[in-house]
Amino acid sequence: MNFFRLMRYNFVQNIRGQLARCLMVAGVSLFFFFQFYMDALHIFWSGETLAENVEAFGNRSVSLCDSLLYLTGGMLPVSFAALSDSFQFPVRWLFPHMLILYFTLNVARSDLGKGGIQILTRTRRRGSWWLAKCVWNIATVSVYFAVEFAIWILVSFLLGKSGIEPLNEVLFEGIFNGRLPGQMTAADARKCVLTFVLMPTAVCASVSLLQMTLTLYVKPVFAYLCILTYYVAGIYSAHPFFLSNYALSVRSMAVGLYHFRLGTGVCLCLLLGIFSAIIGGVRIYRMDLLSFD
């Protein structure tokens, strides 16, 4: 079987499950947008009735830039001393990532057990099989994030908040307990939207490749726990070694509080993805398929 036949096989075998999972991602996205809407009403609350505040929200300078940052921003780094006073954890940022990584956990393992092993043994070139799995993994992650952002943009459009404008300072301070470093321009806002959409997708795709490679060496549950630990470590350590920092949009250079640059993040994601693909390919070539468990 050549590469394109393997890709078609992956599509046919997974399309039904993918549709159901896309619906789950869409549901999660809608839930978090509702949370954003309620949090924004609370931050801008002026003491009148709910109906009046909803109407007033429509006149606020809240844009797609603000709502996307709410979804992908995570949180600013905190000291361990501050953690003892008030524990913080960015559930709405981490949950979509870990849900998508759970969906892609068995991308490779599904063909390495029972009937699936026949596909790999029929493939004369193991490298083609592994490359197809890598491409399918990246495509799957990209589709999930596309669904998430499409729902977010659609609802923003329906509420009249789909414009791309500089971040709202009051909303930013209310959500992240911090202040923007300066006044943003329209060009800065466009760069923010690009960063908020691209970097979470790129980081999750590269880490998903790493997770898939780990499943060739250890049980999937251990690979998943390793990735979860890696993500959480990045939340509390603003170090470039943890790629999750580049997916935490509030720490991006586009916002201006930290220096996690878009270009650097993309390069590191490419390096991690290539490294994972090479290590996984070596493992596949050396693997005894009959004794793999």
Torsion of CA 124, 129, 132, 136, to 10 degrees: 150
pLDDT higher than 90, residue 22: yes
Phi-psi region of 177 (alpha: psi -120 to 50; beta: other; left: phi over 0): left
What was the pLDDT predicted at 47?
A: 64
The encoded tokens of residue 231 equal: 């993500």
What was the pLDDT predicted at 241?
A: 93
Kindly give the interhelix angle for 3-43 and 169-176, rounded to the nearest 10 degrees.
100
List of residues 6+ apart from 238 with CB closer than 8 A: 77, 245, 251, 258
pLDDT higher than 80, residue 289: no
Q: Are 204 and 141 in contact (CB under 8 A)?
A: yes
What was the pLDDT predicted at 123?
A: 67
pLDDT higher than 70, residue 50: yes
Out of 100-114, 145-159, 273-287, least confident range: 100-114
CA-to-CA separations, 264 to 77, 114, 142, 150, 240, in angstroms, rounded: 19, 42, 20, 26, 9
What was the pLDDT predicted at 29?
A: 96
Confidence of residue 82 (pLDDT cuts 50, 70, 90): very low
pLDDT higher than 70, residue 113: no
What's the chain's average pLDDT? 87
Convert the pLDDT of each residue in 196-211 to its tens digit.
999 999 999 999 999 9
Mean pLDDT of the region 134-152:
96
Q: Are 188 and 166 in contact (CB under 8 A)?
A: yes
Convert the pLDDT of each residue in 215-250 to its tens digit.
999 999 999 999 999 999 999 889 999 999 999 999
Residue with tokens 């099989």: 129
Out of 152-156, 182-186, 196-200, least confident range: 182-186
pLDDT higher than 70, residue 115: no
The encoded tokens of residue 291 equal: 């004794």
What was the pLDDT predicted at 247?
A: 96
Confidence of residue 58 (pLDDT cuts 50, 70, 90): confident
Convert the pLDDT of each residue in 247-281 to its tens digit.
999 999 999 888 899 999 999 999 999 999 999 99
What was the pLDDT predicted at 83?
A: 46
What was the pLDDT predicted at 256?
A: 86
What was the pLDDT predicted at 277?
A: 96
pLDDT higher than 60, residue 116: no
Residue with tokens 């500089």: 166
Q: Considering just the CA atoms, what is the radius of gyration of the chain in Å?
A: 21
Q: Which residues of 194-218 are buried (b: 16+ CB within 10 A; e: fewer)?
A: ebbbbbbbbbbbbbbbbbbbbbbee
What was the pLDDT predicted at 290?
A: 55
Alpha-carbon distance of 287 to 281, in angstroms, equals 10
Alpha-carbon distance of 152 to 146, in angstroms, equals 10
What was the pLDDT predicted at 103?
A: 95
Give this prediction's pTM: 0.90
